[in-house]
């Protein structure tokens, strides 16, 4: 039982997921489920209330626009699910127990109280955006201008490829360093459990630990692949940006981000629904990158993935494309 036969259909599914702290989010056509391994060893699974932007604004179902909407939705859902997983896994309580309040902490708590959390979140978000813009947009342009001033204008045609490779290197180094943190390393293993579970379902096999363990780790519709694809698309779009001044080039590149998101989403969507030479070429850079972000899970992580996956599978099969 559980073995694939010639009569067993193989599916490509629209169901996707995200790794969390000691848990996994799975998103189906109608249901979003968050499953977390709690400190006592049990699995706490519950649906998440979330109304997709495309349901609220039908125009966002159009090609390109749906990519932007999907990216924003992923950020919103991911943040909410991550907070849930931190609470259920006991990480929030652990952080609070290990914190030692300084005089500044006590002063802020006294004067700001419940407002402190949102204020810190906003400040952290703003600083994060500024850092990302500086590293991924401003710094590559400044570095290329420096090289051009030394070696002359003969390199001008290589500006966009240089900036794209620069961003890709930063992304690879960042993800590599993140993998050394114990909590992030476990998230990467849950990421592997998520992929393997989706592959098992797409293969038409029962969702058991034994069946899932045998599946591949690297999936063409992964968010890591999407980020790599966005960088590569950005290289092509950057060729048509005429500005060399980083204070002009950076804002223009930021304005192009929705186009990059939309094109990246359409390509990832195409790769997820087809299996041919073209899709293999498009997906390959992202699959290579997943070696950093998708690790082999243990059986307990696979159990969490099953708990997150089963409730989101629709009975009418509307998520499936038979191949």
Instruction: Encode pLDDT of 81-129 as tens digits.
Output: 999 999 998 876 555 554 555 555 555 455 555 555 566 656 776 787 7
pLDDT score for 272: 73
Stretch 29-45: mean pLDDT: 94
pLDDT one-digit tens code per residue, 5-21: 445 556 688 899 999 99
Mean pLDDT calculated for residue range 172-181: 91
The Cα-based distances of 267 to 168, 228, 235 in angstroms read 18, 12, 15
Q: Can you tell me whether residue 150 is helix, strand or coil?
A: helix
162: Cβ–Cβ under 8 A, 6 or more apart, which residues? 140, 143, 144, 147, 155
Please check whether residue 83 lies inside any domain of the structure: yes
Structural domain includes residue 154: yes
pLDDT for 53 equals: 87
The C-alpha atoms of residue 32 and residue 201 are separated, in whole angstroms, by: 17
In contact, 48 and 74? CB cutoff 8 Å: no
Q: Say if 252 falls within a structural domain.
A: yes
- Of the listed ranges 88-102, 224-238, 267-281, the least confidently predicted one is 88-102
- Is pLDDT at 252 greater than 70 in this prediction? yes
Q: Does 58 map to a domain?
A: yes
Low-confidence winner among 96-105, 255-264, 294-303 (lowest mean pLDDT)? 96-105
19 SS3 class: strand
Tokens of 190: 């849950």
Q: Could you tell me the pLDDT band of residue 2, with boundaries at 50, 70 and 90? A: very low
Can you read off the two tokens belonging to residue 139? 């710094």
pLDDT over 70, % of the chain? 85
**189 has pLDDT over 60:** yes
Region 187-214: what's the mean pLDDT? Answer: 95
Q: What is the mean pLDDT of residues 313-321?
A: 81
Structure-model confidence comparison of residues 5 and 49, the more confident one: 49
Look up residue 152 and give its two tokens. Answer: 């002359």
- pLDDT of amino acid 289: 92
Higher pLDDT, 5 or 225: 225
Q: Which residues of 143-168 are buried (b: 16+ CB within 10 A; e: fewer)?
A: ebeeebeeeeeeeeeebbebbbebbb
Domain of residue 265: give its range.
11-94+123-316
Query: Taking Cα atoms as reference points, which of 228, 237, 285 lies closest to residue 258?
Result: 237
| Residue 286 scores a pLDDT above 60 | yes
Q: What is the DSSP letter of 59?
A: G
| Domain total in the chain | 1
End-to-end, the C-alpha distance of the chain in Å comes to 22
Least confident of 28-32, 121-125, 225-229, 287-291: 121-125
Average pLDDT score, the chain: 85
Answer yes or no: are the C-beta atoms of 317 and 33 closer than 8 Å. no
- What backbone torsions phi and psi does residue 26 show, to the nearest 5 degrees? -120, 135
More confident residue, 109 or 183: 183
Is 2 part of any domain? Answer: no
pLDDT value for 55? 84
Instruction: Examine residue 258 and state whether it is found in any structural domain, yes or no.
Output: yes
DSSP string, 166-234: HHHHHHHHHHHHHTTSHHHHHHHHHHHHHHHHHHHHHTT----HHHHHTS-S--TT-HHHHHHHHHHHH
Residue 323 lies in a domain: no
Query: Does pTM top 0.85 for this prediction?
Result: no
pLDDT for 114 equals 56
Rounded Cα–Cα distance for residues 204 and 72 (Å): 31
CB of 282 within 8 A of CB of 271?
yes
β-bridge partners, 320 = 13
Residue 322: pLDDT over 70: no
Condensed to tens digits (0 to 9), the pLDDT of residues 123-146 reads 776 787 788 888 888 999 999 999
Interstrand relation of 11-13 and 32-37 (parallel, antiparallel or unpaired): unpaired
Give 63-85 pLDDT, tens digit per residue: 889 999 988 888 889 889 999 99
Query: E-strand spans in the chain?
Result: 11-13, 16-20, 23-27, 32-37, 43-47, 320-322
pLDDT band at 148 (very low <50, low <70, confident <90, very high): confident
């Amino acid at each position: 039982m559980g073995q694939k036969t010639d009569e067993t259909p193989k599916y490509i599914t629209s169901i996707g997921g995200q790794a969390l702290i000691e848990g996994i989010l799975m998103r189906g056509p109608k249901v979003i489920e968050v499953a977390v391994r709690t400190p006592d060893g049990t699995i706490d699974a519950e649906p998440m209330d979330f109304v997709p932007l495309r349901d609220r604004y039908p125009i966002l179902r159009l090609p390109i626009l749906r990519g932007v909407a999907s990216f924003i939705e992923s950020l919103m859902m991911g943040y909410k699910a991550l907070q849930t997983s931190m609470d259920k896994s006991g990480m929030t309580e652990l952080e609070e127990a290990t914190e030692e309040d300084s005089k500044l902490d006590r002063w802020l708590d006294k004067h700001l109280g419940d407002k402190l959390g949102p204020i810190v979140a906003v400040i952290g978000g703003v600083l994060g955006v500024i850092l990302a813009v500086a590293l991924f947009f401003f710094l590559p342009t400044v570095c290329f201008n420096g090289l051009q001033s030394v070696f002359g204008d003969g390199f001008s045609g290589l500006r966009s490829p240089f900036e794209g490779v620069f961003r890709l290197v930063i992304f690879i180094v960042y993800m590599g360093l993140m993998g050394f943190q114990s909590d992030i390393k476990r998230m990467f293993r849950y990421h592997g459990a998520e992929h393997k579970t989706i592959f098992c379902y797409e293969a038409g096999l029962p969702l058991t630990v034994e069946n899932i363990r045998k599946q591949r780790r690297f999936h063409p519709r992964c968010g890591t692949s999407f980020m790599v694809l966005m960088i590569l698309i950005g290289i092509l779009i950057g060729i048509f940006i005429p500005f060399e001044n980083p204070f002009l080039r950076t804002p223009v590149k930021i304005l192009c981000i929705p186009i990059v998101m939309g094109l990246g989403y359409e390509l990832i969507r195409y790769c997820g629904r087809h299996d041919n030479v073209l899709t293999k070429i498009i997906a390959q850079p992202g699959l290579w990158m997943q070696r950093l972000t998708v690790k082999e899970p243990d059986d307990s992580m696979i159990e969490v993935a099953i708990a997150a996956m089963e409730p989101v599978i629709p009975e009418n099969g509307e998520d499936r494309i038979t191949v």
